[in-house]
Amino acid sequence: MLFSEIPGQTDVKEKLVQLVNNNRLSHALLFLGKEGSGALQLATALAQYIVCENKKEDACGNCPSCRKAASLMHPDIHYSFPTITRTGIDKPVCNDFIEDWRTFNNESPYGNVYDWLQSLDAENKQGNITAHECEDIIRKLNLKSFESGYKILIQWMPEYLGSSGNKLLKLIEEPPAQTLFILVAEDDSKILPTILSRTQLVKINRVATTDLQSWLIENQKVPKDKASLIAPLAQGNLREAMQLLHHGEENWQELLREWLNAILKNGPAAQVKWVDEISKIGREKQKQFVAYFIHLLSISVTISNNAIPDDILENEIDFAQRLIKLASTAQIQSMVEELDQSIYYIERNANPKMLFMALSIKFYHIIKDKMVILVN
């Protein structure tokens, strides 16, 4: 992968290129970024840049080393990631799953660890980076490089190492010459402190909305009006942007109108019916719906401050203006906080009926003093 193929993150890209060209690259890096920030892709792009035979501001993308790196088949770039046990594989190592890994990165380049494990048909199995995998890493990195002079390990989600990660401590602290560890993580609090202390942090922020919108238009060939809708909803999460792109035909505005009318006008029976409906659409779409509601509420606050956001659809502005009549800025902030928390619970498989019924009750109490029915 080329740096130029990854949306935004200009400062991080420039920093990494400078570190390589000035020969100041630490032997152990921790790329720390939330889901969908592009941290894994930045690690992959860095590895390709290092082995590229004609690099300048970016890897050339055309030399034999680049072609191998882009297909995740370069012999000096190794990958480590959570795996599961399978029939015939009692002591799994990542090489047992490398074809699955290449397919996953090709088809779902910004997928999260849940997507990865489901692609392996993990069902309820927990992923792990096993002690056997750690031993295999030690074996591979103690071999001589095949082509590039460098040996690179990209380990995705070191949070899944557990105590077996202690096997890697000596190798990380005193690696063979021209050996690079790149750990790609989302939550540093779940990484072994002994490993964390041996790495140089590279912080990866969420992708800026403007960068995300440009990437959707230029790289994904998304029409401008659709990209302007998806980008703010994704909130800097590239995975969420792709989910919205492929499953974004739902009429969230109508669903939201039905919910608010059920809360404020039609009573408990209508609320129960609505909750039953949304509980059937699945976790990802529930998250998208909640994100859309937050998006409209944020527009409402902006409009209430006498500003009309750029690139916002006219029907969204109209709906947001109705929301202003429904609740004050303080009430809207309370609703956003509840919705933000609900995304956290949805991601952790909360019972959707209980979750959305609780939200219905909370929203009634938040806005009951300013009830305005949202008519079509």
Q: Write a three-state SS string for 90-110.
A: CCCCHHHHHHHHHHHHHHCCC
* Pairwise CA distance, residues 261 & 70, whole Å: 51
Which candidate, 57, 83, 61, places its Cα nearest to that of 71?
61
pLDDT of residue 372: 43
Angle 126-85-128 (CA atoms, 0-180°, nearest 5)? 40
* Pairwise CA distance, residues 309 & 328, whole Å: 19
* Pairwise CA distance, residues 61 & 1, whole Å: 8
Query: Containing H/E element for 343?
Result: helix 329-347
> SS3 helix, strand, coil % of the chain, rounded to 5?
60, 10, 35
E-only strand ranges, the chain = 28-33, 77-80, 151-156, 179-185, 200-204
For the chain, the maximum distance between any two Cα atoms, rounded to a whole number of angstroms, is 72
Which candidate, 273, 323, 281, places its Cα nearest to that of 298?
323
Query: Containing H/E element for 10?
Result: helix 10-21
* Pairwise CA distance, residues 225 & 168, whole Å: 49
* Pairwise CA distance, residues 7 & 237, whole Å: 11
In contact, 262 and 222? CB cutoff 8 Å: no
| C-beta neighbour count of 120 within 10 angstroms | 17
Residue 122 CB contacts under 8 Å (≥ 6 apart), including other chains: 84
Residue 186 CB contacts under 8 Å (≥ 6 apart), including other chains: 32, 33, 34, 35, 39, 157, 159
pLDDT under 50: residue ranges of the chain: 371-376
Give residue-wise pLDDT tens across range 2-56: 999 999 999 999 999 999 999 999 999 999 999 999 999 999 999 999 999 999 9
* Pairwise CA distance, residues 335 & 340, whole Å: 9
* Pairwise CA distance, residues 126 & 111, whole Å: 17
Task: Name the token pair of 177.
Answer: 């010459």
Which candidate, 186, 225, 152, places its Cα nearest to that of 35?
186
Task: Name the token pair of 55.
Answer: 């690099």
* Pairwise CA distance, residues 37 & 302, whole Å: 26
213 HSE (CA, 13 A, CB side): 17
Residue 145 CB contacts under 8 Å (≥ 6 apart), including other chains: 76, 151, 178
pTM: 0.76
pLDDT of residue 227: 87
pLDDT of residue 2: 96
